[in-house]
Structure 1
Protein backbone atom coordinates (compact mmCIF):
# COMPACT_ATOMS: atom_id res chain seq x y z
CA UNK A 1 0.00 0.00 0.00
CA UNK A 2 1.37 3.40 -0.88
CA UNK A 3 1.81 6.11 1.65
CA UNK A 4 -1.01 8.19 0.19
CA UNK A 5 -3.40 5.25 0.30
CA UNK A 6 -2.44 4.56 3.91
CA UNK A 7 -3.05 8.18 4.92
CA UNK A 8 -6.37 8.17 3.07
CA UNK A 9 -7.38 4.91 4.77
CA UNK A 10 -6.62 6.39 8.19
CA UNK A 11 -8.27 9.76 7.59
CA UNK A 12 -11.42 8.55 5.82
CA UNK A 13 -13.18 7.30 8.98
CA UNK A 14 -12.33 10.53 10.76
CA UNK A 15 -13.67 12.66 7.92
CA UNK A 16 -16.89 10.69 7.69
CA UNK A 17 -17.31 10.67 11.48
CA UNK A 18 -16.74 14.42 11.75
CA UNK A 19 -19.65 15.06 9.44
CA UNK A 20 -22.10 13.24 11.71
CA UNK A 21 -24.23 15.43 13.90
CA UNK A 22 -24.28 14.42 17.52
CA UNK A 23 -27.71 14.03 19.03
CA UNK A 24 -28.54 16.42 21.81
CA UNK A 25 -28.99 14.70 25.13
CA UNK A 26 -31.62 16.12 27.43
CA UNK A 27 -29.88 16.35 30.81
CA UNK A 28 -33.19 16.54 32.65
CA UNK A 29 -33.70 18.60 35.74
CA UNK A 30 -30.56 19.41 37.69
CA UNK A 31 -30.09 17.10 40.62
CA UNK A 32 -28.73 18.32 43.90
CA UNK A 33 -26.12 15.64 44.42
CA UNK A 34 -25.13 16.85 47.85
CA UNK A 35 -28.40 16.32 49.72
CA UNK A 36 -30.41 13.35 50.87
CA UNK A 37 -33.90 13.23 52.33
CA UNK A 38 -34.25 12.78 56.10
CA UNK A 39 -36.26 9.92 57.54
CA UNK A 40 -39.97 10.14 56.74
CA UNK A 41 -42.02 11.60 59.59
CA UNK A 42 -44.23 8.55 60.21
CA UNK A 43 -41.21 6.22 60.30
CA UNK A 44 -39.46 8.49 62.77
CA UNK A 45 -42.57 8.79 64.96
CA UNK A 46 -43.03 5.00 65.09
CA UNK A 47 -39.37 4.61 65.99
CA UNK A 48 -39.54 7.17 68.78
CA UNK A 49 -42.67 5.51 70.15
CA UNK A 50 -41.02 2.07 70.00
CA UNK A 51 -37.92 3.26 71.86
CA UNK A 52 -39.91 5.11 74.53
CA UNK A 53 -42.13 2.06 75.04
CA UNK A 54 -39.08 -0.18 75.40
CA UNK A 55 -37.47 2.13 77.96
CA UNK A 56 -40.70 2.31 79.95
CA UNK A 57 -41.18 -1.46 79.86
CA UNK A 58 -37.62 -2.47 80.74
CA UNK A 59 -37.33 0.10 83.54
CA UNK A 60 -40.68 -1.01 85.00
CA UNK A 61 -39.48 -4.62 85.07
CA UNK A 62 -38.47 -5.92 88.50
CA UNK A 63 -36.28 -8.77 87.25
CA UNK A 64 -32.63 -8.41 88.34
CA UNK A 65 -31.38 -8.74 84.76
CA UNK A 66 -33.51 -5.78 83.71
CA UNK A 67 -31.64 -3.31 85.94
CA UNK A 68 -28.62 -3.11 83.64
CA UNK A 69 -30.85 -3.21 80.56
CA UNK A 70 -32.76 -0.22 81.93
CA UNK A 71 -29.64 1.89 82.33
CA UNK A 72 -28.51 1.01 78.80
CA UNK A 73 -31.96 1.54 77.29
CA UNK A 74 -32.14 5.14 78.44
CA UNK A 75 -29.53 6.07 75.80
CA UNK A 76 -31.60 4.75 72.87
CA UNK A 77 -34.06 7.69 72.59
CA UNK A 78 -31.13 10.10 72.83
CA UNK A 79 -29.27 8.27 70.06
CA UNK A 80 -32.37 8.46 67.90
CA UNK A 81 -32.72 12.18 68.63
CA UNK A 82 -29.10 12.90 67.66
CA UNK A 83 -29.46 10.98 64.40
CA UNK A 84 -32.66 12.89 63.63
CA UNK A 85 -31.03 16.25 64.28
CA UNK A 86 -28.15 15.39 61.97
CA UNK A 87 -30.44 14.22 59.18
CA UNK A 88 -32.55 17.41 59.19
CA UNK A 89 -29.70 19.87 59.66
CA UNK A 90 -29.12 22.09 56.60
CA UNK A 91 -25.38 21.91 57.32
CA UNK A 92 -25.29 18.11 56.94
CA UNK A 93 -23.76 16.67 53.78
CA UNK A 94 -25.40 13.84 51.87
CA UNK A 95 -23.07 11.23 53.38
CA UNK A 96 -23.83 12.48 56.89
CA UNK A 97 -27.58 12.36 56.31
CA UNK A 98 -27.41 8.84 54.88
CA UNK A 99 -25.31 7.64 57.81
CA UNK A 100 -27.62 9.34 60.32
CA UNK A 101 -30.65 7.72 58.69
CA UNK A 102 -28.92 4.34 58.83
CA UNK A 103 -28.03 4.87 62.49
CA UNK A 104 -31.61 5.88 63.32
CA UNK A 105 -33.01 2.79 61.59
CA UNK A 106 -30.58 0.54 63.46
CA UNK A 107 -31.53 2.18 66.76
CA UNK A 108 -35.23 1.70 66.00
CA UNK A 109 -34.61 -1.95 65.12
CA UNK A 110 -32.70 -2.40 68.38
CA UNK A 111 -35.63 -1.00 70.38
CA UNK A 112 -38.07 -3.36 68.68
CA UNK A 113 -35.80 -6.40 69.06
CA UNK A 114 -35.11 -5.69 72.73
CA UNK A 115 -38.83 -5.26 73.39
CA UNK A 116 -39.41 -8.71 71.92
CA UNK A 117 -36.75 -10.16 74.27
CA UNK A 118 -38.32 -8.76 77.46
CA UNK A 119 -40.30 -11.95 78.25
CA UNK A 120 -37.01 -13.88 78.29
CA UNK A 121 -35.79 -11.56 81.06
CA UNK A 122 -38.85 -12.37 83.10
CA UNK A 123 -40.73 -9.15 82.44
Structure 2
Protein backbone atom coordinates (compact mmCIF):
# COMPACT_ATOMS: atom_id res chain seq x y z
CA UNK A 1 0.00 0.00 0.00
CA UNK A 2 1.43 3.37 -1.01
CA UNK A 3 0.92 6.48 1.11
CA UNK A 4 -1.32 9.17 -0.30
CA UNK A 5 -0.60 12.84 0.42
CA UNK A 6 -2.84 15.80 -0.23
CA UNK A 7 -2.66 19.50 0.65
CA UNK A 8 -4.60 20.77 3.64
CA UNK A 9 -8.18 21.65 2.65
CA UNK A 10 -8.34 24.53 5.09
CA UNK A 11 -6.09 27.40 4.06
CA UNK A 12 -6.12 30.09 6.71
CA UNK A 13 -3.53 32.12 8.55
CA UNK A 14 -2.21 30.98 11.91
CA UNK A 15 -4.29 32.11 14.88
CA UNK A 16 -3.00 33.72 18.03
CA UNK A 17 -2.71 31.59 21.15
CA UNK A 18 -5.98 30.91 22.99
CA UNK A 19 -7.67 28.32 25.20
CA UNK A 20 -9.40 26.83 22.17
CA UNK A 21 -8.09 23.53 20.84
CA UNK A 22 -9.01 20.47 18.81
CA UNK A 23 -10.57 18.96 21.94
CA UNK A 24 -14.04 19.71 23.29
CA UNK A 25 -15.23 18.38 26.64
CA UNK A 26 -18.95 17.64 26.85
CA UNK A 27 -20.78 17.08 30.12
CA UNK A 28 -24.51 16.59 30.45
CA UNK A 29 -27.43 14.24 29.85
CA UNK A 30 -26.46 10.86 28.45
CA UNK A 31 -29.02 11.28 25.64
CA UNK A 32 -26.85 14.03 24.10
CA UNK A 33 -23.40 13.35 25.55
CA UNK A 34 -23.13 10.09 23.67
CA UNK A 35 -20.51 9.15 21.08
CA UNK A 36 -23.07 7.83 18.58
CA UNK A 37 -25.48 10.77 18.99
CA UNK A 38 -22.69 13.33 18.57
CA UNK A 39 -21.20 11.50 15.56
CA UNK A 40 -24.59 11.61 13.80
CA UNK A 41 -25.12 15.24 14.87
CA UNK A 42 -21.76 16.32 13.40
CA UNK A 43 -21.97 14.08 10.30
CA UNK A 44 -25.29 15.70 9.37
CA UNK A 45 -23.40 19.00 9.13
CA UNK A 46 -19.95 18.25 7.74
CA UNK A 47 -17.21 15.75 7.08
CA UNK A 48 -14.97 15.45 10.11
CA UNK A 49 -12.31 13.20 11.57
CA UNK A 50 -11.67 12.40 15.20
CA UNK A 51 -8.43 11.57 16.96
CA UNK A 52 -10.12 10.23 20.05
CA UNK A 53 -13.48 10.03 21.76
CA UNK A 54 -13.23 8.95 25.38
CA UNK A 55 -15.70 8.71 28.24
CA UNK A 56 -14.18 10.48 31.24
CA UNK A 57 -17.05 10.03 33.70
CA UNK A 58 -20.56 8.64 33.71
CA UNK A 59 -23.36 7.71 36.04
CA UNK A 60 -27.02 6.86 35.42
CA UNK A 61 -27.95 10.31 34.08
CA UNK A 62 -24.76 12.32 33.36
CA UNK A 63 -21.78 11.60 31.14
CA UNK A 64 -18.58 13.49 30.38
CA UNK A 65 -16.82 12.88 27.04
CA UNK A 66 -13.52 14.12 25.68
CA UNK A 67 -14.04 14.62 21.92
CA UNK A 68 -10.79 15.12 19.99
CA UNK A 69 -11.14 16.39 16.41
CA UNK A 70 -8.41 16.16 13.77
CA UNK A 71 -8.23 19.96 13.44
CA UNK A 72 -9.36 23.10 15.21
CA UNK A 73 -10.38 25.22 12.23
CA UNK A 74 -13.09 23.62 10.17
CA UNK A 75 -13.83 20.88 12.69
CA UNK A 76 -13.65 21.65 16.43
CA UNK A 77 -14.44 25.33 15.86
CA UNK A 78 -17.52 24.50 13.77
CA UNK A 79 -18.60 21.75 16.17
CA UNK A 80 -18.50 24.31 19.00
CA UNK A 81 -20.69 26.72 16.99
CA UNK A 82 -23.19 23.97 16.13
CA UNK A 83 -23.41 22.86 19.76
CA UNK A 84 -24.02 26.43 20.91
CA UNK A 85 -26.74 26.78 18.27
CA UNK A 86 -28.34 23.53 19.49
CA UNK A 87 -28.25 24.82 23.07
CA UNK A 88 -30.11 27.97 22.05
CA UNK A 89 -32.65 26.02 19.98
CA UNK A 90 -31.64 27.82 16.76
CA UNK A 91 -32.12 26.11 13.42
CA UNK A 92 -28.81 24.77 12.13
CA UNK A 93 -28.56 24.89 8.34
CA UNK A 94 -28.07 21.43 6.86
CA UNK A 95 -29.55 19.62 9.84
CA UNK A 96 -33.11 18.58 10.66
CA UNK A 97 -34.77 20.73 13.33
CA UNK A 98 -34.11 19.49 16.85
CA UNK A 99 -37.07 18.17 18.81
CA UNK A 100 -38.20 20.08 21.91
CA UNK A 101 -36.76 17.26 24.04
CA UNK A 102 -33.37 17.49 22.28
CA UNK A 103 -33.26 21.26 22.84
CA UNK A 104 -34.16 20.74 26.52
CA UNK A 105 -31.31 18.22 26.86
CA UNK A 106 -28.83 20.38 24.88
CA UNK A 107 -29.50 23.26 27.29
CA UNK A 108 -28.15 21.07 30.09
CA UNK A 109 -24.88 20.30 28.26
CA UNK A 110 -21.75 22.03 29.54
CA UNK A 111 -19.02 22.63 26.94
CA UNK A 112 -15.38 23.50 27.50
CA UNK A 113 -12.16 23.36 25.56
CA UNK A 114 -9.86 20.49 26.53
CA UNK A 115 -6.08 20.42 26.42
CA UNK A 116 -4.79 19.77 22.91
CA UNK A 117 -2.55 16.68 22.96
CA UNK A 118 -0.27 18.29 20.36
CA UNK A 119 0.16 21.63 22.19
TM-score, reference length from structure 2:
0.32
Larger Rg: 1
Counting helix residues as a fraction of each chain, which structure ranks higher? 1
Q: Highest relative contact order (Cα 8 Å, sep 6+), 1 or 2?
A: 2
Counting strand residues as a fraction of each chain, which structure ranks higher? 2
